[in-house]
Amino acid sequence: MSSSDKIGVGILGASGYIGAEMMRYVALHPCLDLRWATANRDAGLPVGDVLPNLRGFVQQVFLTPAEAEQRLDAVRVVFLALPHRESQDVLPRLEAAHPDKIWIDLAGDFRTPDAEGFRRYYGQEHRAPELLSRFVYGFTEAQRKTLSGARLIANPGCFATGMLLALYPLVASGLLSGRVALTGITGSSGSGREPSRTTHHPERAQNIRAYKTLSHQHLLEVEIFLESCSGRDLRIHFVPQSAPVVRGIFTTLFVPDEPKEVLREVFDRFYGDEPLIDVVDGSPDLRSVQTTPRGIVGVDGAPDRGSIVFTVIDNLGKGAAGQAIQNMNCALGLPETTGLAWPGGFV
Amino acid sequence: MSSSDKIGVGILGASGYIGAEMMRYVALHPCLDLRWATANRDAGLPVGDVLPNLRGFVQQVFLTPAEAEQRLDAVRVVFLALPHRESQDVLPRLEAAHPDKIWIDLAGDFRTPDAEGFRRYYGQEHRAPELLSRFVYGFTEAQRKTLSGARLIANPGCFATGMLLALYPLVASGLLSGRVALTGITGSSGSGREPSRTTHHPERAQNIRAYKTLSHQHLLEVEIFLESCSGRDLRIHFVPQSAPVVRGIFTTLFVPDEPKEVLREVFDRFYGDEPLIDVVDGSPDLRSVQTTPRGIVGVDGAPDRGSIVFTVIDNLGKGAAGQAIQNMNCALGLPETTGLAWPGGFV
Amino acid sequence: MSSSDKIGVGILGASGYIGAEMMRYVALHPCLDLRWATANRDAGLPVGDVLPNLRGFVQQVFLTPAEAEQRLDAVRVVFLALPHRESQDVLPRLEAAHPDKIWIDLAGDFRTPDAEGFRRYYGQEHRAPELLSRFVYGFTEAQRKTLSGARLIANPGCFATGMLLALYPLVASGLLSGRVALTGITGSSGSGREPSRTTHHPERAQNIRAYKTLSHQHLLEVEIFLESCSGRDLRIHFVPQSAPVVRGIFTTLFVPDEPKEVLREVFDRFYGDEPLIDVVDGSPDLRSVQTTPRGIVGVDGAPDRGSIVFTVIDNLGKGAAGQAIQNMNCALGLPETTGLAWPGGFV
Amino acid sequence: MSSSDKIGVGILGASGYIGAEMMRYVALHPCLDLRWATANRDAGLPVGDVLPNLRGFVQQVFLTPAEAEQRLDAVRVVFLALPHRESQDVLPRLEAAHPDKIWIDLAGDFRTPDAEGFRRYYGQEHRAPELLSRFVYGFTEAQRKTLSGARLIANPGCFATGMLLALYPLVASGLLSGRVALTGITGSSGSGREPSRTTHHPERAQNIRAYKTLSHQHLLEVEIFLESCSGRDLRIHFVPQSAPVVRGIFTTLFVPDEPKEVLREVFDRFYGDEPLIDVVDGSPDLRSVQTTPRGIVGVDGAPDRGSIVFTVIDNLGKGAAGQAIQNMNCALGLPETTGLAWPGGFV
């Protein structure tokens, strides 16, 4: 397929980790052609100078947002990988002017219809509340029908994706409700590209700590999405933890009242035919999905102690760019795994 | 104090990580003198050749166990850092012949009076069940009175210590009973010195996984000890997880029914005067205790979601050698922190 | 292209790190179809159970070598990723029976015509010396003409590739001869899949050490190849060092007598049009090539102190599987980067 | 010894990594009492809140520099762990007002008498050139006679210490002169406490790169010191490299013209009786000295390829705080290893 026959895409905010990974996924997709990518600080620089891994794959220089806006006609899909709270400033105007494009937001701005919840968890009034209810929440495995033909898609958060892979089948089956205990261990790339104390190598390299204990903002989208699916009330007790890995999230869910066999049956039913999700006995290795768009769900248990569900994803893959491509494929009517069928390394 | 005025100690199984750390702690103790240390494979080799960190501090060569047995008169305290299930083979005979010595076992052999539980969790019949009830379980902060003058001490397991630091004050206060959910994230040194698949650097360096889910053998000692303290039934749902750090255990306990303030008050009451345990708000950093005999307990919470208790210890410090020294100090009537009052690094 | 239209390949020794990476590269190649893969210990197991990263990509079970031998007709290319010194036992017979196949050996067995050198560096008599001179040494960038149509290809060692990328243009240009000082810092995957003391996570995770100082076996192939190209005598002083990264080799070459500008001009001339090799000013980041078949050469210098040449490769990529595919493409007459044009991640 | 009988010390700039480590070393020294510690940003905060590893060991709050100046009478020794180029602003005045104190500067400000060299390597005019020649350069093993009774001591840089441990005996013996090739692999704590791109965990954790190639500022002090000892001209080709370890420097020196046995004899002669330096055959492990004030020199070689000298130190130990204490002990006439005789861990 020649470049001009391909589907043009643009990326707003392409110099952060999620934006950079979006460019990698676009380069790996046989039907996509990157027409432009923006970056505030790096505008004017060749992409390959800022991101040497893309040298030879992306020839463009980073544009300013204003320059990109002039080139919206060249694209059919726009991925927004902007910092949280910026998408809501640009989307209303852009979307109104270009109602035919597909807009996929990777930030937390449009993941629920709940403006009040947004205020509570993100600490500010939502500035485009009228758009909230128009977005489809892109947890692909549960949403592909709704995603088909969608034009406004909110990509789930990385922790949210890890939690939902474990919670959704159980809640949808009526096996889980009320209080639920989970932990999520994340790699440092989840903190983004800006250096900070908690990602300073001397202080991170051999450290474990928790943060935003019981109050992480992804709780909002997970609770609202699951309640909308099941009509049940959920109260998620979630502890995010940081470990010295670069990529990935390892989620642990306590299911004290169900034996392993029951859970395994549920997950086989929900995910048995999923092309990007594996179901295994026991704990998966986080390593198995790093750098990829795939996820693994593991189930384990012990007599009289109930069960545990584990999920592993790459926070930049299934937790961001991979799922964004998956959602775009659904929206465009392409086979869902187009551009996503390549393996990562064993180590 | 001249070397001959010091208290002589011997170490059985000194070439493993716990035994090596015991030698480090003995070298740091102003009243102790290492008289001998055994190692099967390394017998005959200078300690400093096998463990270069001890060059200049330990002059001995490793002895065979048989050679050490000839020199029991030279010591007052023996630390057993043998592989699990070996202490029970040597202790009955040695202890009978030397009833005046202090024997501190760092393996899992004598941590409860429950021979049947041992069979279940350690997969074999106990070979010295008659000794079980004579041992004092050395979770120091709760046991120092019983430890005073003790001659047979079972040092708690590393995961057990991490769990007990969180659980003991809450169970003893009647705030916790029934089902309890915990995770424990451990460094690789907990697996010992023998290379294996799960500690092979290429496969561990960026990996997270769980193992012995809901069935780790330390559950035995924790449940039995807490029930003996409180008379309450506990059912611990514990998920051990491995992360790419070398030292330390980060424990996370869910307390869904109590607000943070109540827990903080309890921990301040129990640990406020403890010289080796700090209590803090929020999550501690595992890094803060690595290489040391110290522990930190952190408490956090959120409205309507209850609380979380975190504990951090060094698995080889408070989780092994540090607590062994602490217990020995109690048994000998020395100030409890003798030889333990030195700081680790910030990074 | 349907699977039956593709070029059939087989892999001997596919459960080690290099063999596993070969399977990943085969899965990424649009014209290749994996017909079988062997593994001694894992024979009979599904590849995806042993190597979860390949689940969904490789459906086969591992065969025994004997089973594979029955299926040689199904393949046109065989990659040998056996332990060093095993290829020479199987190749003479197999190659004689199947002279039409392409055999690409990734071990050290056939990299030079020098049987005496092999004895010295690999510690045993070569058992198939008659084959040595028939092999083409596959340092692709210098050998693509000879590789075209080749049937017996010896893939260079990973350290050798890192060294040659720096040395070859300088030696071929007559800028370097005599004594040459280099270091090569390697990740732990270079040690292979078998756990050992030097790859035991607690002892490797924060360690740096050197090994095989001035005597690494890859010196043999590098000196012989360069002397054959240039007619000049070289005496390479090479220090391999191990660092706590998983993948990659960072090579540092001292060129005390030439200014940076001269070197840059040489490397631009040799590699300016190379699709898989970048040339940059200053030090490259090892990270930029991890998981990929690419290499980067960096040049730096200072007044009166000459210059330094850096190279970075992935030991399993350009240092093994990537170069093997590159060589196969040359041998088959496919465009050289077929199946190799995909980017790695930024982190 | 009661706190008031001890020698009072103060630390300027105590919240950086080197200052924090100085406090740890002071806490470990039986004759020292920390009277105050300053920090610009953290002034007013308890030291234990900023540096949790020191909780229980340092009771003070951080002072402002102005507050500390009021308390100079309380101390006999001042350690300056300020950012480079700040010592020269405060020392002239302080030292003039308190000529009886011992001033030990850990920055690069006073390490040579060469103001012009300072300008070249540190990029600015020296602002206290009149003080330069009054300082003793504190590479302890070569300088202890000069250090005895010294009042102004410039502590060597971390890379400089690693290089000098290898170079000094060879240069002083006349075995080395002219061009010399070295690499030094450093951990991330050498970059200090301020987060930056090169220490951002996602980008550092699996990376190797070089920086300041052939132009690191420590060249200045090393070349000047060695020339002053030997009268010989040296031209050091030094490549600093960064690896994903937290602490330590691994130095590799090429000695192409001497056999290993000759070097080993020289190092045994120079360091055989050194209490803090070990000499070994082959490569040492960096791990063996991490967190400690010790260093190891290793020698290896191969027929016709000359020799290699390796040195390992902890950049914050022998490379900073440990050597500062060693130098202070010399200046005060205390036994040189007072407060320095404790082992690090094996892992």
pLDDT digits (tens, 9 = 90+) for C315-333: 999 999 999 999 999 999 9
**For residue B44, what are its two tokens?**
């005959």
pLDDT digits (tens, 9 = 90+) for A220-236: 999 999 999 999 889 99
* CB contact (8 A) between residue B237 and residue A256: yes
| E strand or H helix that includes residue C20 | helix C17-27
Band the pLDDT of A211: cuts 50, 70, 90.
very high
- Domain extents for chain C? 3-156+318-332, 159-315
- Per this entry, what is the length of chain A? 347
Residues of B labelled as active-site residues: 158
Question: Which CATH fold topology does D159-315 show?
Answer: Dihydrodipicolinate Reductase; domain 2 (3.30.360)
Q: Say what the pLDDT of residue D232 is.
A: 86
- Write out the DSSP string of D198-230: GGBHHHHTT--EE-STTT-THHHHHHHHHHHHH
User: In terms of DSSP H, where are the helices of chain A?
Assistant: 17-28, 47-50, 65-69, 87-97, 115-122, 129-132, 140-147, 158-172, 201-204, 218-230, 260-271, 322-332
Burial of B300-330, coded b for 16+ CB within 10 Å and e otherwise, reads: bbbeebbbbbbbbbbbbbbbbbbbbbbbbbb
**For residue B28, what are its two tokens?**
């740091």
In chain A, which residues have their Cβ closer than 8 Å to the Cβ of D207?
none
Q: Give mean pLDDT, residues A189-207.
A: 97
Q: Say what the pLDDT of residue C2 is.
A: 82
Check: CB of residue A62 under 8 Å from CB of residue A34: no
pTM recorded for the entire structure: 0.98
Closest chain B C-alpha to C58 CA, distance in angstroms: 21
Q: Give mean pLDDT, residues C26-43.
A: 97
Amino acid at B212: K
* CB contact (8 A) between residue C202 and residue B17: yes
Question: What percentage of residues in chain C have a pLDDT greater than 90?
Answer: 97
* CB contact (8 A) between residue B347 and residue D189: yes
- β-strand A307-313 against A295-301: which pairing, if any? antiparallel
Band the pLDDT of A2: cuts 50, 70, 90.
confident
Closest chain B C-alpha to D135 CA, distance in angstroms: 29
Q: Say what the pLDDT of residue B127 is.
A: 97
In chain A, which residues have their Cβ closer than 8 Å to the Cβ of C17?
346-347
ipTM above 0.90, yes or no: yes
Closest chain B C-alpha to C189 CA, distance in angstroms: 5
| E strand or H helix that includes residue B220 | helix B218-230
Q: Give mean pLDDT, residues C214-218.
A: 98
Q: What is the mean pLDDT of each run of 10 residues along chain B (347 residues)?
A: 91 98 98 97 97 96 97 98 95 96 98 98 97 98 97 98 98 94 98 97 98 98 96 94 98 97 98 98 98 98 97 98 98 98 97
- Write out the DSSP string of B52-117: GGGTTT--PBPBPHHHHHTTGGG-SEEEE-PPTTTHHHHHHHHHHH-TTSEEEE-SSTTSSS-HHH
Closest chain B C-alpha to D172 CA, distance in angstroms: 26
Q: What burial class does residue C337 get, using C-beta atoms within 10 Å of its C-beta: 0-12 exposed, 13-18 middle, 19+ buried?
A: middle
State the Cα–Cα distance between residues C164 and C176, nearest whole angstrom. Answer: 12
Fold identical between A3-156+318-332 and A159-315?
A: no
pLDDT digits (tens, 9 = 90+) for D197-254: 999 999 999 999 999 999 999 999 999 999 999 998 899 999 999 999 999 999 999 9
Selected residue of C15, C53, C279 to mutate for chain A interface (largest A Cβ count, 10 A): C53
Q: Could you tell me which chains touch chain A, where touching means 3 or more CB pairs under 8 A?
A: B, C, D
pLDDT digits (tens, 9 = 90+) for A157-185: 999 999 999 999 999 999 998 999 999 99
B to D CB pairs, distance under 8 Å = 101
- How many CA atoms within 13 Å lie on the side-chain side of B121? 24
Q: How many CB atoms lie within 10 A of CB A190?
A: 24
Q: Say what the pLDDT of residue B2 is.
A: 82
Phi-psi region of A63 (alpha: psi -120 to 50; beta: other; left: phi over 0): beta
Q: Say what the pLDDT of residue B1 is.
A: 77
**For residue C190, what are its two tokens?**
């270079």
> Which listed residue (C31, C158, C229, C330) is catalytic?
C158
Closest chain B C-alpha to A336 CA, distance in angstroms: 28
For chain B, how big is the Rg over CA atoms in Å? Answer: 19
The secondary structure of chain D in percent helix, strand, coil, rounded to multiples of 5, reads 40, 20, 40
**For residue C192, what are its two tokens?**
């292979």
Query: What CATH number does domain D3-157+318-332 carry, 3.10.20.30, 3.40.50.720, 2.130.10.10, 3.40.50.300?
Result: 3.40.50.720
With tokens 């102005």, the residue in question is D66
pLDDT digits (tens, 9 = 90+) for B91-111: 999 999 999 999 999 999 999
Residue A4 pLDDT > 90, yes or no? no
pLDDT digits (tens, 9 = 90+) for C236-280: 999 999 999 999 999 999 999 999 999 999 999 999 999 999 999
Q: Say what the pLDDT of residue C78 is.
A: 98
Residue C228 pLDDT > 80, yes or no? yes
Band the pLDDT of C342: cuts 50, 70, 90.
very high
User: In terms of DSSP H, where are the helices of chain D?
Assistant: 17-27, 47-50, 65-69, 87-97, 115-122, 129-132, 140-147, 158-172, 201-204, 218-230, 260-271, 322-332
A158 annotated active-site: yes
Band the pLDDT of C174: cuts 50, 70, 90.
very high
* CB contact (8 A) between residue A286 and residue B208: yes
In chain A, which residues have their Cβ closer than 8 Å to the Cβ of C24?
343-346
pLDDT digits (tens, 9 = 90+) for A135-160: 999 999 999 999 999 999 999 999 99
> Which listed residue (A31, A158, A229, A330) is catalytic?
A158
Which CATH class for the B159-314 domain?
Answer: alpha beta
Q: Give mean pLDDT, residues C330-345.
A: 98
* CB contact (8 A) between residue C347 and residue A189: yes
pLDDT digits (tens, 9 = 90+) for D214-229: 999 999 999 999 999 9
Q: Say what the pLDDT of residue A232 is.
A: 87
pLDDT digits (tens, 9 = 90+) for A243-253: 999 999 999 99
Question: Which CATH fold topology does C3-156+318-332 show?
Answer: Rossmann fold (3.40.50)
Closest residue of B to D321, CA-based? B345
Q: Give mean pLDDT, residues D55-59.
A: 95
For A252, B232, B263, C144, C283, the CA distances from B177, given in Å and listed in that order, are 22, 6, 14, 72, 59
Q: Say what the pLDDT of residue C1 is.
A: 77
Task: Give the SS3 label for residue C242.
Answer: strand
In chain C, which residues have their Cβ closer than 8 Å to the Cβ of A291?
291, 344-345
Task: Give the SS3 label for residue D166.
Answer: helix
Residue D60 pLDDT > 80, yes or no? yes
Question: What percentage of residues in chain D have a pLDDT greater than 90?
Answer: 97
* CB contact (8 A) between residue C185 and residue D244: no
Residue D1 pLDDT > 80, yes or no? no
Residue D336 pLDDT > 80, yes or no? yes
For A180, A247, A320, C204, C321, the CA distances from B171, given in Å and listed in that order, are 22, 37, 42, 40, 57
Closest residue of D to C283, CA-based? D210
Phi then psi for residue D218, to 5 deg, are: -70, -15
Q: Say what the pLDDT of residue C4 is.
A: 86
Closest residue of C to B248, CA-based? C202
* CB contact (8 A) between residue D205 and residue A202: no
Nearest to C188 among B197, B202, B245 (CB): B202
